[in-house]
Chain A
Amino acid sequence: MGQPDRYSRQRRVAGIGETGQTRLREATVLVVGCGALGTHALDALTRAGVGRLLVVDRDVVEWSNLQRQVLFREADAIAGLPKAVAAAQRLGEVNHEVAVVPFVAQCSGAFLARLPVQPDVVLDGTDNFHTRYLINDWCRSAQVPWIYAGAVGAEAVAMAFPVDGPCLRCVWPDPPAAAEVGNCETQGILAPAIAVVAAFQVAEAIKALVGAPPTRGALTVDVWRGRYGVADLVGPPSTTCPCCARREFPALRDVDVGVATTLCGRDAVQVEPARGAVFDLAAYADRVAPAVSDLMRTPHLVRFNADGVRFSVFRDGRALLFGVADLLRARALYDRWVGA
């Protein structure tokens, strides 16, 4: 049964009111990725009373997640529960009025095309630019606003992409090279940096759902140095952007991130890089070296252990992952350690 006081404080906020609360209840939000960003955002969206939450994540809960991924408990890590499933269980206890639909899957073009209902807003909770460009292109093609966020170390960035402004490709035409991007494994991650940008995402999502104007520009924060600001990255949509100028959506044409195939006879998976990816094995080895164990370099490959899995990464960016049999898990580990 609904409790009449449940959303009373939220309703009193100017700009929400009874109408806004009703809009939230009738809304659907897709959260792509259920890690630190995703769990923070899902918790807040559930408490805010957003009617339906679609959450997609291909990974399982691990001990190293508990430091910042607020929906998970030790029991989830012990059970190795899929993150989307563990999150849906927890959120059901937070607010039974919200329908949380978990998908244990790779967020691919095919996945987005088969969503049971078109979301009103998409939140980026991913850890890789391949998926972010996919989200961008799909949201542009379907005319859905989305909110980007990312964090490494103590720094974080977030930006709303409403349908009438520039898109991610207008601001950054191409994804950064895998070797240029730090990640949580190599540079760590401080939970409050996540919390800041996740809160920004949720605020922008609520505003979009109730029809309030979005924040224009990119929120940049460094919670260690104490720098918080909104950078002005906003102009009109780029006249050379394939999405905005030509209504072409390159990521929707791409085959999914490289193909993952199980190797014959043992727990091992081969993952191929995304089509057209450029890979520098030596630079990659330098970057990953501090974060992994038993690193070994040969002219042909780099071997190391990470997350209990042995990696062999080759010159063309393909990798063999020994000690993992599940293709989704292998893809997640590849994106985490080798890069998308």
Chain B
Amino acid sequence: MMNAARYLDHAATSWPKPPEVPAAVSRWFTEVGVSAERGEGPGQQVAHAEVAAAREGIAGLCGVAADRVAFCSGATEGLNLALRALLRRGDRIVTTAFEHSSMARPLLALARDRECVVRIVAPGRDGGIATAELAAALAEAPTALLALNHASNVTGAVVDAAAGCALARAAGARTLLDASQTAGLLPLDVGADVVVASCHKALLSPPAVGFVVARSGLDLAPQKQGGTGSSRALDTHPIEWPRAFEAGTPNTPGLFGLAAALRWRRGVDAAGRLAAARARAQELATALNACPAVDVLAAPETDRLPLIAFRHAGYEPAEIGAIASMEGFTIRTGHHCAPWLHRHFGAEVSGVVRVSPGPDTPSETIAAFAALVAGL
């Protein structure tokens, strides 16, 4: 059984969810049972209302109209679809070493197929992606796309996305923002053309819920075709956003969970909750920095997300993971699907240990974990 007080992997997925979330998923199974937009009946009306509420909620976070929100199975699907729609043959793309594999892998694969040039901006000494470095990379050559992870899922370092998007726009480039780590924590209306995120982290939804938000006027071409519920055309795919981008049976129970999570968030002090998680992360960083054998990976403090990555001179990350798990802690070790950043830190062989507390993590948990590491 998982130990909620010792769950320190909120950057992977938030847990436990507010009870309203599983209750909403359960309600779909017991009281609704059907998809919105598929057929007529009392269930469809409820389904339609809940999915619309989820769409409104995400639109509000991103500062767009609800009809600019397409749902998908998560950031991996969203980024794959968005990149396919955005990249053209011979394009130059500027991106960062913070990118998650869900961006890095499809980006490199598409770049090979479509003969694109990819420029990867490295972090500076402080572990951050400097706006000046983004500006320099954009100025080197005509650029079609800035593909930007809003924050590193390894170190918690946040990129100034608003500044990056403004620079890209001035340079004539489109912007694709991966907000998986920041959705639910930081503002997403930063001027990006396309915002993609998973909702099971700080947005507190069940897994397999994500979105692609495309700004008004940018109707990304559908990258998968199929059933869309209703359309006048019989054998051609509709092009109206967002439905064109959502082919296939939607994850309605997951969207019920998202709608409930967004509703729950409106009733709580989101800023206070983020501050609490950050305070726990800071406590851990302070304690770990006092251990001579521990090397905490650098990240700028501005807006930093509540997660800490470190290495130990005497123990492999996987060994620390095993020892911590025997004490009931849930943490993450390895490469965190961030190949470029690990290469940057020289951690491509063993990876690092990542600890990400949540708003409800007790200080005692942080102290106990720090003591475990200090006692190694």
Contact = CB atoms under 8 A, between A and B. Distances in A.
Given A264-B351, A320-B316, A301 B335 contact: no
A264 B333 CA distance: 8
A266 B326 contact: no
Contacts of A322: 316
Interface string A192-209: 000000000000000000
B350 A316 contact: no
Contacts of A220: none
Contacts of A270: 318, 322
Given A264-B351, A265-B348, A266-B350, A320 B322 contact: yes
A315 B348 CA distance: 28
Given A265-B351, A266-B350, A266-B351, A316 B318 contact: no
Interface in B313-371: 316, 318-319, 322-323, 326, 333-336, 342, 348-351
Given A263-B318, A270-B318, A316 B326 contact: yes
B312 to A, nearest CB: 12
A3 interface: no
Contacts of B318: 263, 268, 270, 312, 320
Contact of A320 (B319, B326, B335, B348): B319
B233 interface: no
A298 B376 CA distance: 8
Contacts of B348: 265
Contacts of A301: 319, 322-323
Interface string A262-296: 01111010100000000000000000000000000
Given A298-B376, A300-B376, A322-B316, A264 B335 contact: yes
Contacts of A318: 322
Contacts of A315: 326
A270 B325 CA distance: 13
Contacts of B334: 263-265
Sort chain A's interface into a size bin: 10 to 19
Contacts of B322: 270, 301, 312, 314, 318, 320
A261 B5 CA distance: 26
Contacts of A320: 316, 318-319, 322
A1 B326 CA distance: 61
Nearest to A318: B322
Contacts of A316: 326
Contacts of B351: 264-266
A103 B322 CA distance: 32
B313 to A, nearest CB: 13
A78 B323 CA distance: 37
A312 B318 CA distance: 10
B328 to A, nearest CB: 12
- Give the one of B318, B326, B349, B351 with max A CB within 10 A: B318
Contacts of A312: 316, 318-319, 322
Interface string A295-338: 00010110000000000101110101010000000000000000
A315 B326 CA distance: 9
Contacts of A266: 349-351
Nearest to B372: A300
Interface in B138-183: none
Residue of A265, A300, A314 with most partner-chain B CB within 10 A: A265
Interface string A243-274: 00000000000000000000111101010000
A210 B223 CA distance: 66
A228 to B, nearest CB: 46
A318 B335 CA distance: 21
Interface in B79-111: none
5 contacts: A264-B336, A265-B334, A266-B351, A298-B376, A318-B322
Query: Which 8 pairs of residues, A with B, have the shortest CB-CB distance?
Result: A264-B334, A265-B335, A300-B323, A312-B319, A264-B335, A320-B318, A265-B334, A314-B322
Given A320-B318, A320-B319, 12 more contacts: A263-B333, A263-B334, A264-B336, A265-B335, A266-B350, A270-B318, A300-B319, A300-B323, A301-B319, A314-B322, A318-B322, A320-B322
